[in-house]
Structure 1
């Protein structure tokens, strides 16, 4: 019994009661969709965020320079310790753009209005619009968005 109890206590606590996957409406609402290479990932000290340096290889929506740095404010699920370098399908939203309304109980979205930088799209209790090229999520979102 003690072994079972200790195993159940070893899992991290999650603040999200309901997980809501990124849907097509939210994915299509972003300002920029790109196939980009993550060249550098770093946590921002003093903020609950990270910065990703990207090299855009293919732009599907919006306008951005070939090289840019974006911010990622994760949902309550937390930031990873690292993001492996490689190619990702990434959705970016201007900090001043209001995201579409969320369905379900996790509808609160925090924005830093009036700032010019781009953010990786991520609603609370949902996954980020940041899908590694060789993943099933990448293939699903690629197909959902109608890219060839």
Structure 2
């Protein structure tokens, strides 16, 4: 049986530049979208709002579902990621960022494509899907309680 790590990511684009984070992961400096694990009791939408703020100090409002990504890693782990597009509002520049986060940046798709330090293939895939596909309505994202 596969046990997947449930994660979320934010795809935010302003003036053809995407919000990304520079972070330490597995001993390396890498570029990723604001992303992270869904905590117990949290909805997918709550998780992406929280992760985006913790990693970038930007308040994020999801507006659509870019895609769902099943990624089996070479080491046997599996990630199931839900990527949401949306808008950022208030920025809190004095807010300390999560451990491991170096800085938030705004980079174009071309700049990201030219890099060799992306954390995973999910970064470029979700940006391509954001650019090429219509986001699904958040009405498609359900949080079911109970039995």
TM band (smaller chain)? under 0.3
TM-score, normalised relative to structure 1: 0.24
Please state which structure has a larger fraction of its residues in strand: 2
TM-score, normalised relative to structure 2: 0.24
Larger Rg: 1
| Higher RCO structure (Cα 8 Å, ≥6 apart) | 2
